[in-house]
A and B are shown apart, each in its own frame.
Chain A
Amino acid sequence: MLASRVFSLVGRRSISTSLCLRAHGHAGVVKAEDYTLPAYVDRRDVPLPEVAFVRDLSAQQQALKEKEKASWSALSVDEKVELYRIKFNETYAEMNKGTNEWKTILGGVFFFLGFTGIILIWQKHFMYGPIPHTFSEDWLSAQTKRMLDMRVNPVEGISAQWDFDKNEWKK
């Protein structure tokens, strides 16, 4: 009783709403959005997608679909291919085909690594000062001899690489 009285209050508005929907021709149901419907997909592990690829057939394609209902030996090769293309987008061969994308990617990688080198050139030219005098050839040779005389790192380091009998680096 109480529920029907509530309905009479609310009912007018809900009835007029559903009438508006009916005017759009959908019997009180909201039109389903495309993304809510089963979708076609080209995937190796989905051999038979949920829907055919072509959803809205042209007149020509509809005629072909009618012909498909009869004996299939009456279909020409081109018609069979057309039926295939209605149902599927890419063949497995087309799906699996590789691309040349790696060339662009690798070329881009090398280009930007080269750009890093250009940054180094800029830095050396505009930013770094002169290197310390302790890196000159004379200084380095004197420094090396002093290290060897002191037997610096004799186990596995620099003195281990020098042959003290022959006075040369070990081969």
Chain B
Amino acid sequence: ARGIQHTAVRQAHRKHEPTFHDKYGTTVLLGGVAMFSAVWSYVLTQLKIEWGFSPIGRITPSEWKE
């Protein structure tokens, strides 16, 4: 059965149709990277999530004693 199928497909077999990855791979890759960078740049900068970064090099100490 498989031999008959391949006999019939013999001529078309040479061309090797472009796969999903050939057609859309680059688009999927770039789209995914763009979406990722957009979302995470927003999350890291605009969202006001307390990430708990170290005060070293960041905070200027100020007087605490009353």
- A interface residues with partner B (beta carbon < 8 Å): 34, 53-58, 61, 85, 89, 94, 99-104, 106-111, 113-115, 117-118, 120-121, 124, 131, 135, 137-138, 140-146, 148-149, 158, 161-162, 169
Is A120's CB under 8 angstroms from B49's CB?
Answer: yes
What string of 1s and 0s marks CB contacts (under 8 Å) between B1-43 and chain A? 1111011001001001001111011111111110110111011
List of B residues within 8 angstroms of A113 by Cβ: 36, 40
Contact B59 A131 (CB under 8 A): no
**Contact assessment for A104 and B56 in the assembled complex, using a CB-CB cutoff below 8 Å:** no
Find A117's partner among B1, B6, B7, B43 (CB 8 Å cutoff): B43
User: How many Å from the CB of A165 to the closest CB on chain B?
Assistant: 15
- Judge whether A56 and B25 touch: CB under 8 Å: no
Contact size range, B? 35 or more
Q: Which residue of A lies closest to B20 (CB)?
A: A104
Q: In the complex, A110→B27 CA distance in Å?
A: 13
Chain A residues touching B, majority SS = helix
Mostly helix, strand, loop or mixed at chain B's interface? Answer: helix
Contacts of A120 in B (CB 8 A): 43, 47, 49
Contact A56 B4, CB 8 Å, known A106-B29, A111-B31, A145-B63? yes
21 interchain pairs (CB within 8 A)? A54-B7, A57-B3, A57-B7, A85-B10, A99-B19, A100-B26, A101-B19, A104-B25, A104-B28, A109-B32, A111-B28, A111-B36, A113-B40, A114-B35, A117-B39, A120-B43, A138-B62, A141-B61, A142-B62, A146-B64, A162-B56
